[in-house]
Chains A and B, each alone.
Chain A
């Protein structure tokens, strides 16, 4: 019985595995639309997603080579970190490691934006 193995085709940079995951989704969607190519891929990545936009951009040409998206432009949109206070209801913009209410300083807040990791849209050649 094998209890130990090495998953194949993985690399140390988690942005590369994220990129490969995105491209598999892109391939499915492109084939659903019988697209011959992908012109652009727009993703939304917030500072609290754990994904570094610079590394994602670097990983993209490596991961997309030989796929339907190899000529695609990767567009990365980032949104500010915003919270809504559960105590006073105020909404404020803040930094990733200080998710306190900008009005009253309470830490009981809900994150409104800043942790997105979304495949938002694609432009296809059909």
Chain B
């Protein structure tokens, strides 16, 4: 829910939630109300705020998801080393404990905010919003959000990002997309990491991993990278450059982009039941003060 402007009741849905709206009395005098809102609409609203704010600043936000230890931070380090001269980056790090990952990023001269979630298994839009307020977004090209290492929960929460990157490291096995369909369905690109281990862990078949991904009706590209051995980075860097350029172009057209995280089925179903579409003619913008990190 929006804490700032109270915009969770929109022109599109207020007829549902206000008395006298879609309201029917049952025989015993109870009132039945049809709602048809996303269970996470509170989070989604905050995410929409975040995205709008990032768009105002022309920043492309990329959410990195994977198991713990798949190499998210190492991929970021290699990315910073390769593109740090051309692009301005910032990083939000999510972990249950420690400042370790943010320190690794800061050691490369890149601003990083660490969110320690305690026991929480995922980042949500509210946590990211708080972290955004500790970053200067001016002149930034790409904001990376490194989610909590977890192949389950992060896939269900929109943070306000534009793209999802899912990493799968070779030691994890090529059947992970079949085992964790919700996560891998959310990927806009699948990056196979630690590919220098393929000769040793030869039971991992990259084609099989891709096949499992296709079985989730995903057309996402599959890249192979070994950040440590500097192999295959070009494909990843090209993808990033293309995404950043495409985002600038979209913004110039007054458009934005949501990642594949939002359930199509839920939306279709809501439409079938004549729930109005979520209207955004209200303002999300509010004044944001940002500290420099």
Q: A residues touching B (Cβ–Cβ < 8 Å)?
A: 1-7, 10-14, 17-18, 21-22, 24-25, 28-29, 32-35, 39, 43-46, 48-51, 79, 82-83, 96-100, 107-126
Contact = CB atoms under 8 A, between A and B. Distances in A.
Contacts of A6: 116-118
Main secondary structure of the interface of B (DSSP, over half): mixed
B156 A50 contact: yes
A99 B182 contact: no
B269 A79 contact: yes
A115 B263 contact: yes
Interface in B167-226: 177-179, 181-183, 185, 212, 214-219
B217 A100 contact: yes
A7 to B, nearest CB: 6
Interface stretch (B33-41, B67-75, B138-146): B33-41
Interface in B3-33: 8-9, 17-19, 23, 26, 29-33
B243 interface: no
A111 to B, nearest CB: 5
Given A11-B120, A118-B38, A99 B217 contact: yes
A117 B266 contact: yes
A95 B216 CA distance: 10
A37 B9 CA distance: 21
Contacts of B99: 3-4
A99 B268 CA distance: 17
11 contacts: A1-B291, A4-B102, A33-B19, A48-B181, A50-B153, A97-B177, A99-B217, A100-B215, A116-B265, A118-B36, A123-B26
B17 A29 contact: yes
B52 interface: no
Given A4-B99, A32-B17, A46 B263 contact: yes
A1 B134 contact: yes
B34 A120 contact: yes
B263 A116 contact: yes
Given A14-B153, A21-B40, A118-B37, A107 B214 contact: yes
Interface in B82-105: 99, 102
A120 B36 contact: yes
Nearest to A45: B39
Task: Name which of B18, B35, B119, B215 has the most chain A CB atoms within 10 A of its CB.
Answer: B35
Given A4-B115, A122-B33, 20 more contacts: A4-B99, A10-B120, A17-B120, A21-B42, A28-B1, A28-B9, A32-B17, A49-B156, A79-B269, A96-B182, A97-B215, A107-B216, A110-B217, A111-B217, A114-B265, A118-B38, A118-B270, A119-B39, A121-B34, A123-B32
B255 interface: no
Nearest to A37: B30
B119 A11 contact: yes
A24 B114 CA distance: 27
Given A49-B182, A118-B36, A28 B17 contact: yes
Nearest to B186: A50
